[in-house]
């Protein structure tokens, strides 16, 4: 999706401009006020005009900051509550240019969405000599073969009640050291509990087996630890 936000141009050497750098030395907020005036105009398509009180409030600037920009020739006081960015149209696109670009973009989008879908022509409405060709010039027989051979989208489905592991599954389970019957039962329980739907359940079970791990071998039993009384009795029996 294209970016619909408004943008404006700012020279990479903006802060090095003699007028801007002089303002920057006295009040960084005044420079920010100048930038906001440009941004406001680009957003609202006012060709460089902005309400002074609003842009001041946005950046936290004061009337002294505005006066500094008037003095350095970066802003023009229109004496009606608005200010004007000097030479705005020399660096930014005008409102007319912006609206024209937007109209062209909408027209191009409508053209893309309304483009006719390439479909076989109606043989009854064209001469018989050209009935074997489609609108694109491809022979109808060839197009029909391609349509027949094209992959069809398969819908997802629940695990069939009669589904069972196949030979490949059993071989895979053997190589992994897992019980294919146990894993198939686990898959069915999981699928029913989660209302799972897949296009290819055989492929799903192969992935399932690939992640399966053999059951851990039971730990060897250990003889119970002997107590002090046991050891004493054994010692007394040996001395007898």
Domain end call among 91, 111, 128? 91
Domains contained in the chain, number: 2
Provide mean pLDDT across the span 77-87. 94
Helix (H) or strand (E) holding 37: helix 28-44
Is the model more confident about 144 or about 10? Answer: 10
Strands of 49-51's sheet, edge to edge? 49-51, 82-85, 75-77
The set of long-range contacts for 197-203, using a CB threshold of 8 Å and a minimum separation of 24, is 197/156, 197/157, 197/158, 198/156, 198/157, 198/159, 199/154, 199/155, 199/156, 199/157, 200/154, 201/157, 201/159, 201/160, 201/163, 202/166, 202/168, 202/169
Provide mean pLDDT across the span 36-51. 94
> Is the separation of the CB atoms in 153 and 139 below 8 Å?
no
* Sign of the Cα pseudo-torsion (148, 149, 154, 159, in order): positive
pLDDT for residue 224 is more than 80: no
> Is the separation of the CB atoms in 214 and 179 below 8 Å?
no
Give the Cα separation of 31 and 145 in Å (integer).
68
Q: Output the pLDDT for position 100.
A: 87
Give the Cα separation of 73 and 76 in Å (integer).
7
Q: Output the pLDDT for position 131.
A: 44
Q: In terms of C-beta density within 10 A (0-12 exposed, 13-18 middle, 19 or more buried), how is residue 61 classed?
A: buried
Q: Is residue 188 part of a domain?
A: yes
Domain end call among 91, 115, 147? 91
pLDDT for residue 182 is more than 50: yes
**What would the pLDDT profile of 90-110 be if each residue is shown by its tens digit?**
999 898 888 888 888 888 888
The whole-model pTM stands at 0.46
**What would the pLDDT profile of 108-166 be if each residue is shown by its tens digit?**
888 888 766 554 545 454 445 444 444 445 566 666 666 555 555 678 889 999 999 99
Give the Cα separation of 58 and 60 in Å (integer).
6
Q: Output the pLDDT for position 107.
A: 86
CATH number where 24 lies: 1.10.10
The set of long-range contacts for 3-6, using a CB threshold of 8 Å and a minimum separation of 24, is 6/42, 6/43, 6/98
Q: Is residue 98 part of a domain?
A: no
Q: Is residue 38 part of a domain?
A: yes
Domain end call among 91, 112, 140? 91
Give the Cα separation of 121 and 128 in Å (integer).
12
Strands of the chain, DSSP E = 49-51, 75-77, 82-85
Q: Is residue 160 part of a domain?
A: no
Q: Output the pLDDT for position 7.
A: 86
Mean pLDDT of the chain: 83
Most distant CA pair in the chain: distance in Å?
122
Q: Is residue 45 part of a domain?
A: yes
Domain range for 196 is 167-211
């Amino acid at each position: 999706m294209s970016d619909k936000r408004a943008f404006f141009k700012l020279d990479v050497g903006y802060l090095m401009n003699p007028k801007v750098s002089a303002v920057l030395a006295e009040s960084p907020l005044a420079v920010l006020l100048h930038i906001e005036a440009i941004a406001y105009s680009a957003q609202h398509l006012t060709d460089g005009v902005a309400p002074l009180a609003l842009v001041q409030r946005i950046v936290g600037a004061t009337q002294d900051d505005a006066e500094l920009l008037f003095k350095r020739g970066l802003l023009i006081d229109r004496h009606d509550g608005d200010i004007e960015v000097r030479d705005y149209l020399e660096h930014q696109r005008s409102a007319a240019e912006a609206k024209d670009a937007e109209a062209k973009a909408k027209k191009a989008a409508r053209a893309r969405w309304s483009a006719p879908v390439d479909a076989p022509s109606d043989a009854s409405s064209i001469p018989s000599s050209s009935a074997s060709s489609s609108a694109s010039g491809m022979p109808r027989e060839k197009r029909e073969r391609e349509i027949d051979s094209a992959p069809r989208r398969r819908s997802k489905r629940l695990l069939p009640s009669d589904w069972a592991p196949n030979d490949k599954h059993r071989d895979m389970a053997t190589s992994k050291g897992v019980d294919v019957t146990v894993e198939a039962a686990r898959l069915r329980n999981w699928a029913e509990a989660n209302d799972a739907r897949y296009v290819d359940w055989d492929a799903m079970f192969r992935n399932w087996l690939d992640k399966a791990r053999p059951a851990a071998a039971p730990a060897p039993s250990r003889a119970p630890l002997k107590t002090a009384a046991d050891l004493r009795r054994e010692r007394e029996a040996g001395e007898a």
